Amino acid sequence: MVEQKVIGVVASSSYSPSVLSSKRYDVFLSFRGEDTRKKFTSHLYDALKQKKVETFIDNCLEKGEEISTTLIQVIEDSHISIVIFSENYASSKWCLGELSKIMECKKERGQIVIPVFYDIDPSHVRKQTGSYEKLFVTHKGEPMCNKWKAALTEAANLAAWDSRTYRVESELLKHIVEDVLEKLAPIYPNWHKGLVGIEENYEKIESLLKVGSNEVKILGIWGMGGIGKTTLACALYDKLSHEFEGHCFLENVREESDKYGVKALRNKLFSELLGNKNHCFDVAFSVTKFVLSRLGRKKVFIVLDDVATSEQLENLIEDFDFMGLGSRVVVTSRNKQIFSQVDKICEVKELSFHHSLQLFSLTVFREKQPKYGYEDLSRSATSYCKGVPLALKVLGASLRSRSKGAWECELRKLQKFPNMKIHTVLKLSYDGLDHSQKDIFLDIACFFRGDQRDHVTNMLEAFDFSAISGIEVLLDRALITISGGNQLEMHDLIQEMGRQIVHQECVKDPGRRSRLWKHEEVHEVFKYNKGTDIVEGIILDLSKLIEDLYLSSDFLAKMTNVRFFKIHSWSKFNIFNVYLPNGLNTLSHKMRYLHWDGFCLESLPANFSAEKLVELCMRCSKLKKLWDGVQNLVNLKTIDLWGSRDLIEIPDLSLAEKLENVSLCYCESLHEVHVHSKSLRVLNLYGCSSLRKFSVTSEELTRLSLAFTSICSIPSSIWHKRKLKALYLTGCRNLGELTDEPIIHGSHKHSLTELASNAERFSMKNIKSLSTLRMLWLDDCKKLVSLPKLPPSLEKLSACNCTSLDSYMTQRLVLQHMLQSRIPYLRKNDLRCYDEEYLFPGNHVIDECVFNTTETSITIPYLWKTELYGFIYCIILSKGSLLQSGISCSVYQDGIRVGWLQRLLEYESLTSNHVLCMYHDINEFDAITEEGHGHFFSNVTFIFENSEASIEEFGIFPIYGSESGLKLVGRR
Long-range contacts of 556-559 (CB under 8 A, 24+ apart): 556/531, 556/584, 556/586, 556/587, 556/588, 557/585, 557/586, 558/529, 558/531, 558/532, 558/533, 559/531, 559/532, 559/533, 559/535, 559/588
Q: CA-based angle 572:577:581, to the nearest 5?
A: 135
Residue in 76, 87, 98, 660 annotated catalytic: 98
Task: Please say whether the beta carbons of 430 and 501 come within 8 A.
Answer: yes
Task: Please say whether the beta carbons of 901 and 923 come within 8 A.
Answer: no
CA distance 11 to 5: 13
CA distance 141 to 134: 14
Residue 577 neighbours by CB distance under 10 Å:
18
> For residue 895, what are the contacts with CB-CB under 8 A and spacing of at least 6?
none
Is 200 among the catalytic positions? no
CA distance 437 to 470: 5
SS3 assignment, position 104: helix
SS3 assignment, position 147: helix
CA distance 438 to 273: 39
> For residue 168, what are the contacts with CB-CB under 8 A and spacing of at least 6?
none
Task: Please say whether the beta carbons of 941 and 892 come within 8 A.
Answer: yes
C-alpha dist (Å) from residue 23 to 27, 234, 510, 745, 749: 10, 24, 62, 78, 71
Backbone φ and ψ of 351, nearest 5° = -75, 150
DSSP letter string, 824-887: HHHHHTT---TT-EEEEE-SS--TT--SEESSSEEEEEEEE-TTEEEEEEEEEEPSB--TTEEE
Identify the DSSP state of 665.
T
Q: In 3D, which of 68, 74, 101 has the Cα closest to residue 3? A: 74
C-alpha dist (Å) from residue 873 to 214, 836, 889: 56, 11, 9
Rounded to the nearest 5 percent, the helix, strand and coil shares of the chain are 35, 20, 45
Beta strands in 16-111 (DSSP E): 25-30, 55-56, 78-85
C-alpha dist (Å) from residue 458 to 351, 451, 461, 580, 592: 34, 12, 5, 31, 11
Any idea how long the chain is? 972
CA distance 138 to 618: 102
Residue 44 neighbours by CB distance under 10 Å:
26
Plot region of 683 (φ>0 → left; ψ -120 to 50 → alpha; else → beta): beta
CA distance 282 to 265: 10
CA distance 357 to 370: 8
* DSSP H or E run through 132: helix 131-137
Task: Please say whether the beta carbons of 447 and 566 come within 8 A.
Answer: yes
Q: In 3D, which of 63, 87, 277, 51 has the Cα closest to residue 163? A: 87
Helices (H) and strands (E) in the chain, counts: 27, 39
Catalytically active residues are 98
